[in-house]
A and B are shown apart, each in its own frame.
Chain A
Amino acid sequence: DTGVSQNPRHKITKRGQNVTFRCDPISEHNRLYWYRQTLGQGPEFLTYFQNEAQLEKSRLLSDRFSAERPKGSFSTLEIQRTEQGDSAMYLCASSPAGGRSYNEQFFGPGTRLTVL
């Protein structure tokens, strides 16, 4: 396994359109996270899954955003009615349940979203 993968790497869309991103975590990692990173800022937490359960959501995650992890493996992040303010890098990370790597999050390359 080569790490966390994200698709697509880049997405350009028009304002008002819906977009969906996919994240495939490291196999056997039961925790999966989504972050958003805007230019000149560090990543900001959006939401977190343990297996298929979404256990925490940030206030940044408006009702236009929805994330799923239906079988506890890959996850999708959908943004409905995109706005120019949604333009950012969307990062996915995964981590194992315990052991020495507890709370160590492994990040994917990100999906860069541009809303025109």
Chain B
Amino acid sequence: AQSVTQPDIHITVSEGASLELRCNYSYGATPYLFWYVQSPGQGLQLLLKYFSGDTLVQGIKGFEAEFKRSQSSFNLRKPSVHWSDAAEYFCAATNFGNEKLTFGTGTRLTIIP
């Protein structure tokens, strides 16, 4: 079955520190991969996506993610977090011809001063 796993339920980092959020997928075909961010009371906002090509993708707000086929991973990174990055982060996947997104359970990010 197709699935997306986010192993970390909650992560706390200091403002200015680097960040890496983990995402692993299980898909038969090459997946399309996404990272979304959800702030309280807000909808899901797309940070970045991977369809094909360069395995390192750049997104909004200074985020990037790297697709590693050998590890079935699509981890999200940011070199220096800001207090405004505190939110819930969701990894999602689909594939060609499939209209539904499969989401992970999310990682809640807390930023400490």
- Is the beta-carbon distance between A106 and B94 smaller than 8 angstroms? no
Interface size class of A (residues with CB under 8 A): 20 to 34
Residues of B within 8 Å of A104, CB to CB, are 34, 46, 49
CB closest residue in chain A, given B32: A103
B75: CB under 8 A from chain A? no
The answer to whether A42 touches B41, judged by C-beta atoms less than 8 angstroms apart, is no
Could you tell me if B99 and A48 are in contact, using CB atoms closer than 8 angstroms? yes
Do residues A43 and B43 form an inter-chain contact, with CB atoms below 8 A?
no
In the bound assembly, the distance between CA atoms of A103 and B94 in angstroms comes to: 8
CA distance in complex: A61, B99 (Å): 16
Residue of A whose beta carbon sits closest to that of B104: A42
Contact indicator A45/B105 (Cβ below 8 Å):
no
Task: Quote the shortest CB–CB distance from A26 to chain B (angstroms).
Answer: 12
Alpha-carbon distance A111/B44, docked complex (angstroms): 13
Interface-central residue, B4, B104, B106, by most chain A CB under 10 Å: B106
Indicate which residue in A31, A48, A91, A103 contacts B43 across the interface (CB closer than 8 Å).
A91
A35 cross-chain contacts in B, Cβ below 8 A: 101
A72 within 8 A of B: no
Knowing A108-B43, A110-B43, say if A41 contacts B99 (CB, 8 Å). no
The contact of A43 among B41, B45, B99, B101, by CB within 8 Å, is: B101
